């Protein structure tokens, strides 16, 4: 169902669920995947919302509806998926679609066609599609799915609402992102949010912040704290930032001791640079300062002061 993609594709999800709320849809959508690998599944989930009279995309919730039932059995005549059988999508495939869709819908009031790998439309198929898009018959909706939008005719693109997907974050279980997510998360939702939405941004910010501090000391107060607090802009996020600081410096300790990095393994260059500027003793002191100061976060101390204080104490090591 469409909700399954809420975390992976928050923007496209929002656009489409908003049109569902006001019951207003474009006649043609172009899903620009940018390497996202579940484009067709997403398109099907959305097609189901369009076709089901109850707008469900999950048949468990909609067991009485013929449309959902038949779509799930891959046996619904008013939903067509066109894909290339070889190198190209051919004109005949588009002609067949237009024939099939020329009569008014029998079961519902909508028909949907999905063109998967739309960049493979050859030129006569493109022209045939263009005519169909120029005069969209009532109740017929198109979803074009492509990884290469610019291979499509401009005239086709301009007739579609283009929805740009986020690339999949490639991460195996050994990635810093997943290991850190596991460490900081108390439940599945927090983990998913971290892995799919904010984690990369937070980790990058921490790595950049520490690197800057290690090279410029007090200047961090002037040049870094403002941006940093825009990223970690409430107490919960700030507490998370302090946890990440500790994990980072623990990995610097690991590096100095010649041990394997536990969390920041994808950032070994940065860890290496910081380890060269520090001793075992200085890192241990820094970790203690961070842990001690993090206790203040829950007492609602002004976060600007807290960060200034952190830098001043760390510079004293």
Q: What are the residues binding Zn ion (CB under 5 A)? A: 52, 54, 56, 62, 65, 68
Rounded Cα gap, residues 252 and 249, in angstroms:
5
- Quote the CA–CA distance of 193 and 190 in Å, as a whole number: 5
Q: How far is the CB of 57 from Zn ion (least distance, A)?
A: 8
DSSP E strand stretches across the chain: 28-32, 79-82, 111-116, 140-146, 161-164
Packed helices 280-294 and 235-256: angle between N→C axes, nearest 10 degrees: 170
Q: How far is the CB of 45 from Zn ion (least distance, A)?
A: 12
User: CB of 50: closest distance to Zn ion in angstroms?
Assistant: 11
The CB-of-68 to Zn ion minimum distance in angstroms stands at 3
- Asked if 13 and 27 touch (Cβ cutoff 8 Å), the reply is no
Phi and psi, residue 252, nearest 5°: -65, -40
Which one, 19 or 147, has the nearer CB to Zn ion?
19
Residue 63 Cβ vs Zn ion, minimum distance, rounded to whole Å? 8
Q: Is 31 helix (H, G, I), strand (E, B) or coil?
A: strand
53 or 136: CB nearest Zn ion:
53
Q: Which is nearer to Zn ion, 72 or 292 (CB)?
A: 72
The residues near 108 (Cβ < 8 Å, ≥ 6 apart) are: 51, 53, 67, 78
Give the torsion through C-alpha atoms of 291, 296, 297, 298, to 10 deg: 120
Q: How far is the CB of 72 from Zn ion (least distance, A)?
A: 9
Q: Residue 79 or 210: which CB sits closer to Zn ion?
A: 79
Neighbours of 111 (CB within 10 A): 27
CB 113 to Zn ion: min, Å: 19
Based on DSSP, count helices (H) and strands (E) in the chain, helices before strands.
Answer: 15, 5
Contact between 59 and 69 (Cβ < 8 Å): yes
Say how far apart CA 107 and CA 114 lie, in whole Å. 18
The smaller minimum CB distance to Zn ion, of residues 68 and 152, is found at: 68
Nearest CB to Zn ion, comparing residues 59 and 303: 59
Q: Which is nearer to Zn ion, 39 or 108 (CB)?
A: 108
Q: Which single residue is written with the structure tokens 């399954």?
A: 4
């Amino acid at each position: 169902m469409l909700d399954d993609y809420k975390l992976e594709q928050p923007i496209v999800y929002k656009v489409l669920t908003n049109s569902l709320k006001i019951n207003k849809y474009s006649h043609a959508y172009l899903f620009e995947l940018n390497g996202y690998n579940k484009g067709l599944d997403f398109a099907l989930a959305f097609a189901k919302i369009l076709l089901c009279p109850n707008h469900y995309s999950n048949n468990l919730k909609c067991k009485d509806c013929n449309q959902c039932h038949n779509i799930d059995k891959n046996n619904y005549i008013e939903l067509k998926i066109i894909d290339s059988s070889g190198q190209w999508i051919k004109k005949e495939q588009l002609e067949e679609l237009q024939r099939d869709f020329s009569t008014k819908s029998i079961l519902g009031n909508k028909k949907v066609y999905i063109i998967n790998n739309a960049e493979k439309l050859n030129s006569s198929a493109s022209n045939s599609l263009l005519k169909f898009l120029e005069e969209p018959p009532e109740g017929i909706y198109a979803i074009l799915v492509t990884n290469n939008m610019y291979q499509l005719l401009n005239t086709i693109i301009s007739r579609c609402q283009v929805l740009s997907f986020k690339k999949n974050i490639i991460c195996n279980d050994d990635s810093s992102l997943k290991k850190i997510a596991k460490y900081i998360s108390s439940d599945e939702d927090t983990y998913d949010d971290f892995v799919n939405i904010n984690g990369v941004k937070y980790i990058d910010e921490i790595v950049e912040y520490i690197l800057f501090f290690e090279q410029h000391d007090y200047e961090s107060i002037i040049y870094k704290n403002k941006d940093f607090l825009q990223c970690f802009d409430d107490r919960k996020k700030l507490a998370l930032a302090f946890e990440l600081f500790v994990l980072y410096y623990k990995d610097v300790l690991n590096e100095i001791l010649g041990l394997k990095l536990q969390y920041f393994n994808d950032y070994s260059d940065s860890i290496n640079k910081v380890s060269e500027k520090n001793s075992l003793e200085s890192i241990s002191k820094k970790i203690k300062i961070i842990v001690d100061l993090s206790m203040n976060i829950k007492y609602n101390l002004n976060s600007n002061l807290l960060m200034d204080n952190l830098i001043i104490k760390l510079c004293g090591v």
